[in-house]
Amino acid sequence: MTITTPDWVKHAVFYQIYPDRFARTQRQALPPEMQVPLESWDSLPTPQGYKGGDLWGVAEKLDYLQELGINAIYFTPIFQSASNHRYHTHDYYVVDPLLGGNEAFFDLLAAAHERGIKVVLDGVFNHASRGFFYFNDILENGPHSPWLDWFTVESWPLSAYDGERAANYKSWINNRALPEFNYENAQAREYIMQVGEYWIAQGIDGWRLDVPFEITTEGFWAEFRERIKAINPEAYIVGEVWTDAREWLAGDQFDGVMNYLFTGPTLAFTAQNRVEMSLVEHVDYFPYPALDAKGYAEKIEALLNLYDWEIQQTQLNLLSSHDVARILSVVGEDIASMKLATLLLFTFPGAPSLYYGDEVGLAGGLDPDCRRSFPAAEDWNLSLLEMHKALIALRHAHPALRIGTYKILAAEGNCYVFARFLDDEMIVVAVNTGDRLLSVRLADMAVDNGRVLYGAGKVDWLGDRTAMLEIPARSGMVLGNL
């Protein structure tokens, strides 16, 4: 089949926002449900505490995001929930009151779209919560509930809260707070399909799908795609699949996945033995063992051969997320490692996704520590911020970095060089992960001229389409012929 994906995603730079932690609104007239006691913004996050970030606060930060170069936002869940992460959904049609409710969301959506910024929401469709009305009815009415078959109950009475008794209904990873839907039930399936359709019709630009591999009902995601694309053919459907995702990326289900198969090798190459193993050894994206350039090239070639090129261009590439420790902490707060990895992120095929705060040097270990509040301006690492602005601007300025083909030119020792080609444009990216200056000779280039667009490296053209690059220690450079 012919694979089609949303064209805008190929040109997008995403910013992932965990709404409780990004920004509190500065408006004064708040509804009563937002006038509640909150944790101190600057204190370390706790599993259950609320910081009070909200969607009006995000709208007030759109100038900042636009100046950074962001043109797409991915929100972790925003629907009503009794948890700060909101993966315990109470109502799929109601935005959480602490976030400002539906009014704040529609204000934000309009403001983002006015600036050309797309908005993608998190669809938590494998499971709901004990507070979800249709499951709560089962808790109240037992086997008399009319929605009994929307879930899978194994015995009575339900043990929804008593941790000393086994949970006797099907729940995600046996977490009794997260009852799983029974999608063999046609009405439960139709309910979620209509939720997906509703928010697309309201104007959102796509869905990021939480643990979609847990839904094994035949044809579920194919139907979901068909119905979403019928409303907006350019809607983005991206799944949270950490490993080989070919099963979902044949063109009939998702447009891409969160590309942890890029994340792991990129951190293993740029940080090498600087990776803090305690933060990564129990998480399935494997930024270890350390890779040299040849090992990294092999991983990247395998990844680029895994999926159709149309899919490669709409993968969601990332270095950090709400599910893993932040890159700054993973690389042992080694700024050079972070800068090298970020250079590779913004020059790789697919849509780069920046986790809020990474651009200003926000650290964070494993959940909940990776969900810290966005820091005050006086605590920003301005060197990192300027680097992110420069690389995002470079990506926006050069179509080859967005949709150009990818070719590895050199991979030996600590030196990795590749090119992106589009028509007459060639962009060369060279990375030196070692501790000493490297010189690399590139012959048979597609062009016979070019200049340094980014980084401290130097280039000498020797004639006959041959270039000599000098790449300082622990740094990278970008060379362009335009």
Active-site residue set: 210, 240
> From CA 371, how far away is CA 367, in angstroms rounded?
7
List, in order, residues 6 or more apart from 121 with CB less than 8 Å away. 75, 77, 78, 199, 204, 206, 207, 208
What's the 3-state SS for 115-134? CCCEEEEEECCCECCCCCHH
Q: If we measure between CA atoms, which residue out of 358, 366, 335 comes closest to residue 474?
A: 335
Residue 45 is given by DSSP the state P
**What CA dihedral angle connects 19, 21, 27 and 33, to 10 degrees?**
70
> From CA 196, how far away is CA 180, in angstroms rounded?
17
For strand 425-432 and strand 415-422, is the pairing parallel, antiparallel, or unpaired?
antiparallel
List, in order, residues 6 or more apart from 252 with CB less than 8 Å away. 1, 222, 225
List, in order, residues 6 or more apart from 157 with CB less than 8 Å away. 142
> From CA 309, how far away is CA 245, in angstroms rounded?
14
Tokens for 396?
């926006």
